[in-house]
Each structure stands twice: as C-alpha cells, then as structure tokens.
C-alpha cells in the first residue's frame, strides 16, 4: 500500500483560494501614525452602560453601598501618606464602620452567598487593599474556619461575635519554617485527659506562627493549626493524628493584654498592605478546653479516644484544606479588580497624553503608537478574559458550597489553584508595565501604581505559593491523563482533553495548518482547538519524560527534572480554561453592541496568546509559516481596533472616581489636580 505524498501545487492552489475567500484586512506598512489618525478610524459603537451591566451582573447594589459609604465618609478614606500604626487603626475603623454603620455583614455572605461576598470584597479592596485583606482575615479565614471546620456548638458560641466584630480573630497556620507544606507544621496540641484540655505548645523557633494577620494589634482569638497528639495508654507514648484546627484565645477580652503563655510580636513594616497588623505567635503550654477543637472531621472524647467519619489522616487533611479553598477563589477574583484599576489608569492616561507627531501637525496620543498599544491592549483583553473566568469560578464555588458534590469540589480545588496562580502572576507583571507605560508620572505615588504593585505583590505567595499551586494543577492533569488510559473518564474541567488528546496523537492536518483567512483565524473553534492542542501536546510529552526519568531518578527526582515543563503545562491548561469561559461570555451577551466589542477583545486575547507561543505551533507544523505571519498581522490589526474602543472598555468597568483617583487619569482635570498635589 502506497503512502500518500503531499502535493505542493495542490496546497498552493488551496492557499490562494483561501486567501481570495477570506482576505486579511489591508494593513499598510508605512505611515503608521497617519493610519491611526482620527479621520481614518472606523470603530465599533459600544453601549458602555449595557456592557457595564453585563460585566457587573447582579451584585452591583452591594458594591454601590460600599462606595457610597466611603464617599459619605471622606475621613475614612486612606490618605496617600500615612504611618504603619495609623494605617492599621484606620483600617480597623473602616471595617467597623462598614459593619456597624453601613450595616454590611460579610459573614452571612461567606456562609450563604459567596458570590455576593466576593463582589463585596472586590469593592472593599478597591477602596484600600489592606481593608480588603483585613476583612478577608476576619470573615473568610477566621470566621470561615470556625464555621466550616467546627460543628454547631462552635457556630452557636462564636457566630455573633465574629459577625459584629466583638471577636476579632486570626488564622494561625503559617509558621516560620513551614508555609506551603502545611503537613509539616510543628506546633503541637497534646490532649490531657485528666483536665479534659488540649495543651498548645511551640516546640522550637521554627514553629512560631508567622505573618498572622490581625495578630499584632487587634486579634482576640486565633484558629491555630497544630499537630494533634493523643496519649497511647498501653505504651505510655503519644500518637500523632496529624494537623487539626483549634480555637485559641490570645488576648483578654477586657484588658486586651496577651493571655498567659501567649507571646505576641509585631512582624513590622512590610513592602505593602501595612494597614494589616501581621504578627507572630508563640505558645508556651497554653491550655484550652476540649470543646475548642474544631471537630467537623475528627473529634476527641473525654477519655482521649479519636473518632472520624473519614478513614485516613490524608483524607482528613484534604477535607480540612478543601474547606479553606474560598481564600484562593477570593484572591483570584480580587487580583482581577486590581488589574482593572491599573489598566484603567494606564489606558486613560495614554489616551490623554500627547507626544510627538508628523511634521507641522499636532502631537498625537501616545496610545496611537504601536508600542504603547502592544503594552496595554492585550493586557486590557486579558483583564476581560480574567473577569469572566474568575466570575465563573465564583459561581462554581457557590454551587459547590450548596451541593457539596465531590466532583465539583475537586473541580473547584484545581481551578482555584490554577486561576489564583496564573492571574496573580499576570497582574503583578502588568502593574510594572502600566507604571512604565505612564512614564515619569507613573512613578508619582499619587498615581497609585506603587501602592497597587506593593499591596498586590504578596498575592503571589499567600493562600498558596504560585509555583506550588501550578504543580498541583499539573499533578491533577497527569492523574486525569493516567486515568484515561485505564478506562476512566475526565472530570468536568478536563473534559476537553478527551478529544484533543486524540487529535494530538494524530498528525496535524497539512491543509488546515495553512488556512490563513480572517474568518478562520477569528473562529472560536480554531482558537480553542489551538490552545487545547498545545496543552495536550505538553501533557503527553511530560508524561513520557516523567516515565523515562523516574527509572533513574525516582519519582521525586523525575518531577524536579521536569518541573519547568510541568509549570508550562499547568499555565497552558489554565489559558485554555480562560479562553473557553471568555468565548462562552461572548456568546451569552444579550446586547449586540456589547457582543461585538467582546468578540473583538476575545479574538485579540486568543491570537496574541497564540502568537506569543508561535514556536510551539511551528515546531510541530500545527501552523505553517504563512499562517503564523497572518496571525501576527491580524493580532496587530485587532490591537489597533481595540485601541479605538479602549475608553469605552475601561469605562465599562464602572469604577468610581475615588478608586481610579490618579490625577493623570482624570480627563477634565488631568493636570490641574496633579499640579495642585505638589503645591502649585
């Protein structure tokens, strides 16, 4: 049987026919600034109010309540220059005001309406990121741990005090020597059956609880994660039951002084978030009642017997951490709100700022320069993409809290890890790009990039180091891949791999690899197939490498040898998820004007990502040279088109003036407020 050979002449004819049927828009190679002049622009008509309503959804009211409260109380708005101690006190006053004066009760939303809570967190964090984190510590971490890891007796005793801020608290998990490796925590909780108490001890300096929010100044309680040690009567030793959570009072309710056996120290001035009072806790034989064990997943009786409805320490540990996944969801969602603020300031400034131009003609907006567009427009497209992806994550998380469906729990765990890692890393890089894009004026503190960058930077570390979280995603992908070849099925998030793995294992189609028409390149199916093909290729190749290296290096050594490959795999998968959610959002938009704008932005997001990794596609002939060139030219054209509606796109975020309060971004008062700020 003869193997069919390629026919160059036939391929050339197909290529020419495709170009006639789907021509690329004519993009002149010269006089670029003339092409960008206002007279020559054709742009979409975007109904900003409709797009904004679609973006902000059903939680607009709770956000407006926050913004209105701070507008009515300017003395509670964080000034530009403020000391660490004053910032901490102001932050507490802001939180108390929201709860006791504005009547906003976040704990109710944490437990019963997570999507509203995350929208509230977005609004609060945009006022002052320190306030957003402090609220998260009080209600999501301290409150959430008590309500989700405890049982009814804990809810009855602590709910009201947490809700109304009578019981300000901490979440004491991280230690000086252990952060990401929670199973390696060293703090000890030993049960004393004679007194019916647990004894909390810090056995060495490495076990000091570190970076604990609310601990340095305001906290009265802490959820302390410690190794549960139970007496073994037959051997007169103790058995280690693994990490459990305990409620430990740390300050006197009346005097606010540290309780006996509790040492509290201040972690001091930080790079950012100095409105949050991070502290360190050491415990010296601190006794707490047996009832202070948060016993939803494991309990200890009066005589020291351990019971659990989960069969192993690993399952109990996984269930405990699974209840805390909301923190990652919140960080991913909040990181997008930071990106919205930065992109808005940088885009508005770039539209206002004028530099140079053709001879004897007015200066042009710096956003008319291709280099500025390439810095900011793909970022703006990514902001939209991340918004829809994290909104979908919040909806999944809310559904998970209602149904407790095991498959959904696993899905949210993997998605929250990946999105938190990917989005926060992207935002951190983008904040520096925005500062640079605004030149020297971007360096002025009043224009916000410095505080946004410093406050957001730690998002890459807490609630799980980004590199560690991406490894979790890669590990889940490999489990799914292994299960597929054992006859299993992919779970919800990974469903697409069933088909794309089969596609990958076959050779790329030499005809479609050369299609370069605009309709084809802007087809969501082509874009999504390309993203998923890349993920499948990375997954299959890293599985082969791991199998090979494990024979000589062992599993740990093989993993470390392939670590960068694994991280790239995880990022590729998350990009596929993000694009899929963006495409869904475009198709679901009820307003034609908004849908057209979102389609344009989505196409830029997809093609810019493909072009940035074009080497991967070229290496396996998934994209032929002529098609790669067409992708590049079309992404440049889309960048220009998005620039034409950039103001409408950032206006649709509908951020209040006191959030985007950078003078360089204010259209009518652009420089009057700026010059007034420095004393003119």
Condensed to tens digits (0 to 9), the pLDDT of residues 579-630 reads: 999 999 999 999 999 999 999 999 999 999 999 999 999 988 889 999 999 9
What is the average per-residue pLDDT within 154-158?
97
Extract the annotated binding site. Answer: 174, 213
∠ CA 222-228-233, nearest 5°, is 145
What is the average per-residue pLDDT within 193-208?
96
What residues contact residue 127 under an 8 Å CB cut-off, 6+ apart?
66, 67, 70, 77, 78, 94, 658, 659
Q: List beta partners, residue 258.
A: 251
What is the average per-residue pLDDT within 528-535?
93
What is the average per-residue pLDDT within 397-415?
89
Map 308-331 to HEC letters. CCCCCHHHHHHHHHHCCCHHHHHH
Cut 0.95: pTM above it: no
If asked whether residues 364 and 262 sit together in one domain, one would say no
pLDDT band at 69 (very low <50, low <70, confident <90, very high): very high
If asked whether residues 155 and 199 sit together in one domain, one would say no
Give residue-wise pLDDT tens across range 158-199: 999 999 999 999 999 999 998 778 888 999 999 999 999 999
Tally of structural domains, the chain: 3
Asked if 280 contacts 267 with a C-beta cutoff of 8 angstroms, the reply is yes
If asked whether residues 98 and 181 sit together in one domain, one would say no
Give residue-wise pLDDT tens across range 262-313: 999 999 999 999 999 999 999 999 999 999 999 999 999 999 999 998 888 8
- Residue 628 is assigned to a structural domain of this protein: yes
CATH code of 269's domain: 2.40.110.10
DSSP class of residue 193 equals T
Mean predicted lDDT score pLDDT of the chain: 88
CATH code of 524's domain: 1.20.140.10
Give the per-residue pLDDT at 357.
87
Is residue 564 predicted with pLDDT exceeding 50?
Answer: yes
- Residue 578 is assigned to a structural domain of this protein: yes
What is the average per-residue pLDDT within 45-72?
91
Is residue 669 predicted with pLDDT exceeding 80?
Answer: no
Give residue-wise pLDDT tens across range 88-138: 999 999 999 999 999 999 999 999 999 999 999 999 998 899 999 999 999
If asked whether residues 411 and 483 sit together in one domain, one would say yes
Give the per-residue pLDDT at 488.
52
Question: Which has the higher per-residue pLDDT, 252 or 490?
Answer: 252
- Of 175, 197, 463, 575, the catalytic one is 463
If asked whether residues 305 and 435 sit together in one domain, one would say no
Residue 199: give the domain boundaries: 169-313
Our answer to whether residue 463 is catalytic in this structure is: yes
What is the average per-residue pLDDT within 143-150?
95
Is residue 418 predicted with pLDDT exceeding 80?
Answer: yes
Q: List beta partners, residue 223.
A: 171, 247
If asked whether residues 268 and 416 sit together in one domain, one would say no
What is the average per-residue pLDDT within 449-465?
93
Burial status of residue 243 (CB atoms within 10 A of its CB: 0-12, 13-18, 19 or more): buried
Give the per-residue pLDDT at 578.
98
Extract the annotated binding site for FAD. Answer: 174, 213
Is residue 405 predicted with pLDDT exceeding 80?
Answer: yes
pLDDT band at 494 (very low <50, low <70, confident <90, very high): low
Give residue-wise pLDDT tens across range 23-38: 444 433 333 333 333 3
Q: Which of 286, 313, 340 is the last residue of a domain?
A: 313
What residues contact residue 476 under an 8 Å CB cut-off, 6+ apart?
410, 414, 494
């Amino acid at each position: 049987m003869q193997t069919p050979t390629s026919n160059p002449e036939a391929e050339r004819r197909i290529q020419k026919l495709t170009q006639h049927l789907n021509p690329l828009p004519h993009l002149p190679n010269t006089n670029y600034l003339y092409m960008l002049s206002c007279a020559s622009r054709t742009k979409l008509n975007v109904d900003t109010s409709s797009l904004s309503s679609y973006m902000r959804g059903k939680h607009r009211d709770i956000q407006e309540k926050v913004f209105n409260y701070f507008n009515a109380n300017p003395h509670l708005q964080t000034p530009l220059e403020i000391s660490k101690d004053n910032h901490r006190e102001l932050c507490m006053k802001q939180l108390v005001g929201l709860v006791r004066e504005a009547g906003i009760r976040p704990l109710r939303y944490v437990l019963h309406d997570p999507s509203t809570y995350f929208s509230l967190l977005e609004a609060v964090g945009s006022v002052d990121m320190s306030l957003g984190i402090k609220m998260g510590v009080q209600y999501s971490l301290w409150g959430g741990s008590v309500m989700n890891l405890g049982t009814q007796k804990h809810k009855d005793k602590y709910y009201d005090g947490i809700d109304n801020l009578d019981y300000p608290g901490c979440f004491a998990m991280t230690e000086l020597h252990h952060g990401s490796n929670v199973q390696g925590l060293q703090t000890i909780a030993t049960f004393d059956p004679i007194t019916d108490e647990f004894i909390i001890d810090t056995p060495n300096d490495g076990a000091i609880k570190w970076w604990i929010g609310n601990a340095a100044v305001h906290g009265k309680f802490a959820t302390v994660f410690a190794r549960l040690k139970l007496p073994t009567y037959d051997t007169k030793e103790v058995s280690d039951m693994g990490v459990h959570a305990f409620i430990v009072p740390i300050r006197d309710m009346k005097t606010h002084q540290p309780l006996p056996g509790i040492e509290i120290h201040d972690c001091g001035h930080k790079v950012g978030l100095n409105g949050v009072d991070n502290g360190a806790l050491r415990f010296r034989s601190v006794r707490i009642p047996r009832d202070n064990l948060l016993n939803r997943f494991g309990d200890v009786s009066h005589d020291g017997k351990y019971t659990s409805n989960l069969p192993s320490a690993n399952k109990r540990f996984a269930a405990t951490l699974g209840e805390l996944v909301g923190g990652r969801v919140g960080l991913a969602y909040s990181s997008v709100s930071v990106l919205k603020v930065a992109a808005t300031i940088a885009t508005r400034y770039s539209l206002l700022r004028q530099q140079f131009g053709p001879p004897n003609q007015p200066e042009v907006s710096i956003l008319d320069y291709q280099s500025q567009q390439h810095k900011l427009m793909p970022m703006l497209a990514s902001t939209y993409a991340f918004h829809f992806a994290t909104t979908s994550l919040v909806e999944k998380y809310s559904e998970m809290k209602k149904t407790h469906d095991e498959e959904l729990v696993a899905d949210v765990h993997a998605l929250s890890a990946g999105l938190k890692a990917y989005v926060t890393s992207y935002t951190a890089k983008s904040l520096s790009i925005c500062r640079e894009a605004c030149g020297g004026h971007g360096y002025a503190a009043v224009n916000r990039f410095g505080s946004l960058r410093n406050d957001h930077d730690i998002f890459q570390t807490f609630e799980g180091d980004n590199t560690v979280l991406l490894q979790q995603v890669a590990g889940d992908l490999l489990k799914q891949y292994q299960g597929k070849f054992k006859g299993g099925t992919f779970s919800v998030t990974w469903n697409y791999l069933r088909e794309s793995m089969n596609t990958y294992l076959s050779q790329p189609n030499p005809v479609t690899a050369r299609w370069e028409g605009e309709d084809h390149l802007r087809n969501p199916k082509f874009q999504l197939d390309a993203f998923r093909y890349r993920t499948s290729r990375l997954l299959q190749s890293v599985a082969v490498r791991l199998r090979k290296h494990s024979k000589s290096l062992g599993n740990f050594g093989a993993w470390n040898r392939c670590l960068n490959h694994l991280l790239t795999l995880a990022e590729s998968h998350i990009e596929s998820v993000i694009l899929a959610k963006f495409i869904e959002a475009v198709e679901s938009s009820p307003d034609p004007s908004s849908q057209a704008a979102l389609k344009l932005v989505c196409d830029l997001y997809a093609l810019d990502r493909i072009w940035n990794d074009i080497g991967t596609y070229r290496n396996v002939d998934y994209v032929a040279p002529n098609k790669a060139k067409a992708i590049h030219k079309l992404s440049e054209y889309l960048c220009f088109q998005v620039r034409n509606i950039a103001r409408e796109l950032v206006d649709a975020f509908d951020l209040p003036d006191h959030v985007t309060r950078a003078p360089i971004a204010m259209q009518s008062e652009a420089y009057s407020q700026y010059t007034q700020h420095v004393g003119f």
